[in-house]
Structure 1
């Protein structure tokens, strides 16, 4: 007859836990990359709206002597050529105030609008006299 000793217990196995940790870190990095891309897309859209508004205002301001219609038509053409939408065009004396929108989709199913407003007109003499 053999003597039975105390029962032996196997230590819990940690096999496979490293795979879960690598997967979790990988998902975290992917999420951070997607968030960074969304922020980058929003910033680029803001710059695009600003450039479109600047160029539209400059082009329209050159035509303010012809009236608000031709000035705003030229501004709208330039704004749209730069991938934006003209929101408003307001003559103010010889200046032209232009507002442009760019719609950005930073993530699927999410749309945001970047808006920029700028003013352009003739050069005016500063406090020190003509330039």
Structure 2
């Protein structure tokens, strides 16, 4: 009877270790995705604010300034639209969630002047 249980603890420890490694990799992937999303939001927000400050000079100037801020924050500007004095910027950030697995985090931000509400 004693000979049949030989090595069972080793298999159990290996299974638990494999589970912990898989859980750690999943948690790292989720963490990387969250960091990427925050980076995309930051890049889009700052790009929209920078572009809105120059919106009065036209879409080329506003979007050029917005793109400089998006790139400086590690993103890529997917689109920039100037609507009056409002600037809408869409930024993308490449996220490496796990080795060999790249994804894109995308965020959109709008910035412009505050208009007084009619009373």
Give how far 1:107 is off: 1.3
2:63 to 69, 72, 78: 72
The gaps in structure 2 that reach 5 residues or longer are: none
Take 2:59 and 2:2, find their aligned partners in 1: how far apart are those partners? 84
Take 1:119 and 1:22, find their aligned partners in 2: how far apart are those partners? 53
TM-score w.r.t. length of structure 1: 0.86
Higher helix share: 2
Take 1:122 and 1:28, find their aligned partners in 2: how far apart are those partners? 52
Aligned length, in residue pairs: 119
Give the match's secondary structure for 1:78. Answer: helix
Match of residue 51 from structure 2: 60
The gaps in structure 1 that reach 5 residues or longer are: 1-9
Take 1:24 and 1:57, find their aligned partners in 2: how far apart are those partners? 50
Give the match's secondary structure for 1:74. Answer: helix
1:23 to 14, 24, 35: 14
User: Which structure exhibits the higher relative contact order, with contacts defined as CA atoms closer than 8 Å and separated by 6 or more residues?
Assistant: 2
